[in-house]
Amino acid sequence: MSDVTLPTKPADGGVDSLLELRGIEKRFTGTYALKGIDLDFAAGEIHAIAGENGAGKSTLIKLLTGAHAKSAGTMRWRGVEVEFKAPADALALGINAVHQEVVACPHLNVAANLFLGDETCRVGFLQKRVMIREGQRILDGLGFQIRADAMLGDLTIGQQQLVATARAAHRGTRFLIFDEPTGYLTRQETLQLFRLIRSLHDEGVTIVYISHRLEEIFELADRVSVLRDGRLVSTRRIADTSEAELIRDMVARSLDEMHYKREVPRGEVLVEIEGASGPGFEDVSMTVRRGEIVGLYGLVGAGRSEFVQCLFGRHRMTAGQVRWKGQKVMIRREADAIGRGIALVPESRRDQGLCLNLGVGFNLALPIYDRLSRGGLIDRRAERAAAARQMIDLRIVAAGQRVHAETLSGGNQQKIVVGKWLAHGAELFIFDEPTVGVDVGTKADIYHVFADLLTAGAGIILISSYLPEVYDLSDRLAVFRRGRVVAEHTHKAVGVETILTEAIGV
């Protein structure tokens, strides 16, 4: 770490610091989550914070918003020392955060969420119509196409994120923290969000922007600070740095194979889908061979996820047929798909992929307990051996098999979801947004997992809203729009712009 020496203060020294951190430390039961953080947030700047998972970004946010108390160090707000004991202390100064996971009430309408805790009342009665009108004015002013009287829960996650942002912005916040805000947003929603961030910036709001999408950092930020292992590695002006330099700071190793791809000979056809229709998609045909990645790209709601859900037996196909290794099959239930060797690695690891409060070994062995049982009883040794093999093969970092899955980093959790299917012997892997919310280092790990799967003779269907990813990794890329496949390209046959145009349909 000592090989990187960089100024932590703006070079000119003349910038007004809104918030100064000096020697900030945070310990959790003896281990340091943050150590010796000296950081200045200049008034009115967009300050990006980058770092791998576990680098201390979220801990830093929690200290800034008063969710945690610091263990040592001082914080100065406009030169005056402050102490945040509770979130209310930070809110009182105008410090607010928009979190990656939306924290709101899905059963209330958008306006009610916008004004939650700050309702318009007359003699104790809610002025619902006034709030909806006012809320609509705010949303329209921001250019969001969202109705203020819609139930929040009926909106897409991306739209909910925009509502949360509007809420924070409306509160007249002076210091706004965005924690990985674009993870679930479509491209249009991302652009709307960026417009909002820029307009807040123009109004003089100081913005802290946390993301591992480096191109977003370069698009938005004035300065960027990199955290690694709980320490501040560097603070640089965005104009004076490059993606490669930041990645080096973040991982302390060169990642020349960011989108790692290994050429593997194509094998036999694993699955062949012809003219499939179902809820949300129509007339989709597709072939996946061993050793190849078929990418599915499209905007959210274009039918990609609906299609793979049918392939996995979640819903019934209404038309078309599926051939598995040349034989016509009917997939009516998940069990049919799993039995053939089709695995779905779902979009939300936490909600759909893992039993979080159970052990790593348990999660890895879950699909194969029928095989691990002898005479009705589980062979504990075989169970441990099966899990241990996946932990070694996939380089899952955990202090043991009994450690709960929730304590692992996002990347390691993703590896568990893959590992349990490897143990099961799946041959076709469907990855639904596998790299949402994981950092660069872990992303590279996941790409290596793809390569290992292909080498082992598996086929992969990859769904991603992140175009550079599907573009670089896919051997073939199917573009979805409004439930249909509108184009199919072989590896990098056309440019990214073409694909985006096809997906949007302009």
Partner 1 sequence: MSDNVATAPLPAPKSRGLRLNFLLNLTLLGLLLLLCGALALGTENFATINNLSNLLRQGSIWAIMAIGQTFVIITAGIDLSAGAVVGVASTVVGLLMVHGVPVPLAVLATIGVGMAIGWCHGFGIVRMGLPPFIMTLASLTALRGIGLLLTGGQTLSGFPAEFGAFARGELLGIPNLFVAVIAVAVPCHLVLHHTRWGRYLYAVGSNREAARLSGVSINRVIYLAYIVSAGLSALAGVLTASRIGVGVATTGDGWELQAIASSVIGGASLFGAVGSVPGPLLGAMLLTTINNGANLLNINPFWQRIITGGLIVLIVYLDQLRRPKR
Helix (H, G, I), strand (E, B) or coil at 13: coil
Strand boundaries in 14-113, DSSP class E: 17-28, 31-42, 46-50, 72-77, 80-82, 95-98
Q: Of 118 and 406, which CB lies nearer to partner 1 in the complex structure?
A: 406
Report in angstroms how near the CB of residue 232 gets to partner 1 at its nearest.
21
Report in angstroms how near the CB of residue 424 gets to partner 1 at its nearest.
8
Q: Of 26 and 424, which CB lies nearer to partner 1 in the complex structure?
A: 424
CA quadruple 56, 100, 211, 41: dihedral positive or negative?
Answer: negative
Q: Of 425 and 495, which CB lies nearer to partner 1 in the complex structure?
A: 425
Report in angstroms how near the CB of residue 446 gets to partner 1 at its nearest.
12
User: Distance (Å, rounded) from C-alpha 60 to C-alpha 193?
Assistant: 23
Q: In terms of DSSP bridges, do strands 327-329 and 319-324 run parallel, antiparallel, or are they unpaired?
A: antiparallel
Q: Of 190 and 309, which CB lies nearer to partner 1 in the complex structure?
A: 309
User: Distance (Å, rounded) from C-alpha 257 to C-alpha 67?
Assistant: 37
Cβ–Cβ contacts within 10 Å for residue 7, how many? 11
Cα–Cα separations (whole angstroms), residue 299 to 155, 209, 279, 281: 15, 24, 17, 13
User: Distance (Å, rounded) from C-alpha 310 to C-alpha 283?
Assistant: 13
Report in angstroms how near the CB of residue 263 gets to partner 1 at its nearest.
19
DSSP per position, 364-422: HHGGGHHHHEETTEE-HHHHHHHHHHHHHHTT---S-TTSBGGGS-HHHHHHHHHHHHH
Q: Of 193 and 372, which CB lies nearer to partner 1 in the complex structure?
A: 372
Q: Is residue 110 a contact partner of residue 146, using CB atoms and an 8 Å limit?
A: yes
Query: Which residues contact partner 1 (rule: CB under 8 A)?
Result: 253, 334-335, 338-339, 344, 346, 351-359, 361-362, 365-367, 369-370, 372-373, 376-378, 380, 384, 388, 391-392, 395-404, 406, 420, 424, 441, 444-445, 448
User: Distance (Å, rounded) from C-alpha 284 to C-alpha 278?
Assistant: 9
Report in angstroms how near the CB of residue 200 gets to partner 1 at its nearest.
32
Q: Of 103 and 403, which CB lies nearer to partner 1 in the complex structure?
A: 403
Q: Of 145 and 352, which CB lies nearer to partner 1 in the complex structure?
A: 352
Q: Of 69 and 397, which CB lies nearer to partner 1 in the complex structure?
A: 397
Q: Is residue 146 a contact partner of residue 157, using CB atoms and an 8 Å limit?
A: no
Report in angstroms how near the CB of residue 449 gets to partner 1 at its nearest.
12
Alpha-helix residue ranges (DSSP H) falling in 264-397: 304-311, 334-340, 360-365, 369-372, 380-393
Report in angstroms how near the CB of residue 356 gets to partner 1 at its nearest.
7
Report in angstroms how near the CB of residue 335 gets to partner 1 at its nearest.
6
